[in-house]
Structure 1
Amino acid sequence: MSIRVQVVQAWPRHQQAVEIVLTADATIADAIAASGFDTTGIEGYAIHGERADAGRTLREGDRVELLRALQADPKQARRRRAMQRKEQG
């Protein structure tokens, strides 16, 4: 038996997705290996937006998302934008 899953890698202004067929007992690690994506800079994985470990078994129709590290702290970025608006107006 086999399952069909999608592996997605999304960066600002660029995204890639590949649909692959794996054995029914395949894990996230298996899907990533089969996708051929470069995993440099990957900090974690998610299935349909929920964090998951590389050893998690996949199900038919799962979307594996490769997560990269944040480039900026969201709280500090908001503060910086607020200060810029305050200085401008």
Structure 2
Amino acid sequence: MDNQMIHVEVVYATPDKQQIVALEVPAGTTVRDAALKSGLDRQFEGLDLAKADLGIFGKAVAKPESVELSDGDRVEIYRPLIADPKEVRKQRAAKVKARQEAEGRR
């Protein structure tokens, strides 16, 4: 590389707070490197940038340590899911079924 710099953003949000950090980084910077350079872990308690799931413009990146960024990319830091979506759907369906069965017995 010829010391070319690129501009990227790193974003993270909780229900109460959101933060966008603009960075100028060397070409060849990986998704994980940009997240670590953002310093967002100092602003959000419990955020572990070394392990967090990451994406670029809404698409998850499976190996953020090896994917290089392009100029203008937005790195997104994802929060862990509180509940498994499949399990939530199963529970909701079970409630509906139980309600329908109860109404059918009347």
- TM more than 0.5: yes
Moved over 6 A (4+): none
Question: Offset at 1:29?
Answer: 2.0
Q: 1:21-67 deviations in whole A, cap 9, x for unaligned?
A: 00011111221121011142853100011111232100001000011
The TM-score with structure 2 as length reference comes to 0.67
Percent identity (aligned): 38
Q: Give RMSD over aligned pairs.
A: 2.6
Gaps of 5+ in 1: none
Over alpha carbons, which structure has the higher Rg? 2
Count residues in correspondence. Answer: 89
Instruction: Report the CA distance shift for 1:12/1:79 in structure 2 as closer, same or farther (over 3 A).
Output: farther
- Is there any run of 5+ residues in structure 2 with no aligned partner, and where? 42-46, 100-106
Q: Distance in 1 between matches of 2:38 and 2:91?
A: 38
**Which of 52, 65, 72 in structure 2 is aligned with 1:54?**
65
Q: 1:66-85 counterparts in 2 under 5 A?
A: 66-78=77-89, 83=95
TM-score (norm 1): 0.78
Greater share of strand residues, 1 or 2? Answer: 1
SS at match of 2:40: coil
Letter in 2 for 1:67: Y
Equivalent residue in structure 1 for 2:38, among 35, 45, 50: 35
For residue 81 of structure 1, report the CA deviation from its aligned partner: 5.9
AA aligned to 1:73 is: D
1:65 aligns with 2:76: yes
Report the alpha carbon displacement of residue 77 of structure 1 after superposing the two structures with TM: 3.5
